[in-house]
Chain A
C-alpha cells in the first residue's frame, strides 16, 4: 500500500484523470474532494459491501420471490400490501 502524507489544500493524482484533494481535517474526519471522469464510479467502500451482500442475497431467491408475489397478487386477502 502506498502511504502519502498531505496537508489541507494539497492533492494527489491517480492515473491521468483522478485528482484527490484534502479539503479539511476535522478531528478524526478527513474531508476529501475527488475529481474523476464521470464514468469512474466513486463510492464509499462500506456501501459496496452492502450492495454486494444484497446482490448475493437476491441472486438466490428467484423462485421464492416469484412464488411470494404470485400469492400476494392472486390472493383475495387484503392482509398483504405493497407499501408505496
Chain B
C-alpha cells in the first residue's frame, strides 16, 4: 500500500514535444503533444495536444505505480513492449494516463499504456490484451 507519491519518482526534465505517428487509440488525429511538468507534482507529466485545444492528459510512469508491472505481463504483451524498446532502451518508458471519477477515485489506464520514446521524441499507445489489466486501475480511493 502506497500512501503518497513515491519519493523515487524522478524529476528528469522531459519537456518538449512528442509525436504519436498513429495518434492515440480511437483518436488518430491526436498526434502532436507538448510535454510539460506540473511543478508541484514531480514525477508526473502533462501531455497537451497541439492538434486539438482542450485535450490534455496527466500521465504517470508505470514503473512507479506498479514496480513489477513488466514481470507480471503475459509473454505476448511483454514481447510487444520489448519490440518497442521498453526495458531495452533507457529512453523508452511506459507511462499511463490518469483519470478522476465522480467519487474522487483516480485511476490509471494500464490496459492501454503509452510507450514514450524520449530519445526519438515519439510515442505509441499499445493494448496489453492478455495480462488482465484494466483501464481503471485505482490509484487514489476515498
Spell out A's residues near B (CB within 8 Å). 38-39, 41, 43-44, 47-62, 64-66, 68-70, 72-73, 78-84
Contacts and interface: CB of A to CB of B under 8 A. Distances in A.
A82 B56 contact: no
Given A49-B26, A55-B97, A81-B1, A68 B140 contact: yes
A58 B57 contact: yes
Given A83-B138, A84-B66, A58 B40 contact: no
Interface stretch (B11-19, B86-94, B124-132): B124-132
The B contact surface, by secondary structure, is: loop
20 contacts: A41-B127, A43-B129, A47-B111, A47-B129, A49-B26, A52-B26, A54-B111, A54-B112, A55-B27, A55-B97, A57-B99, A58-B57, A58-B109, A59-B30, A59-B57, A60-B54, A66-B38, A82-B1, A82-B139, A83-B139
Q: How large is the interface on B (under 10, 10 to 19, 20 to 34, 35 or more residues)?
A: 35 or more
A59 B97 CA distance: 9
B106 A54 contact: no
The A contact surface, by secondary structure, is: helix
Given A59-B57, A73-B5, A80-B142, A54 B129 contact: no
Given A50-B135, A64-B100, A73-B5, A81 B141 contact: yes
Contact of A56 (B26, B46, B127, B141): B26
B105 to A, nearest CB: 9
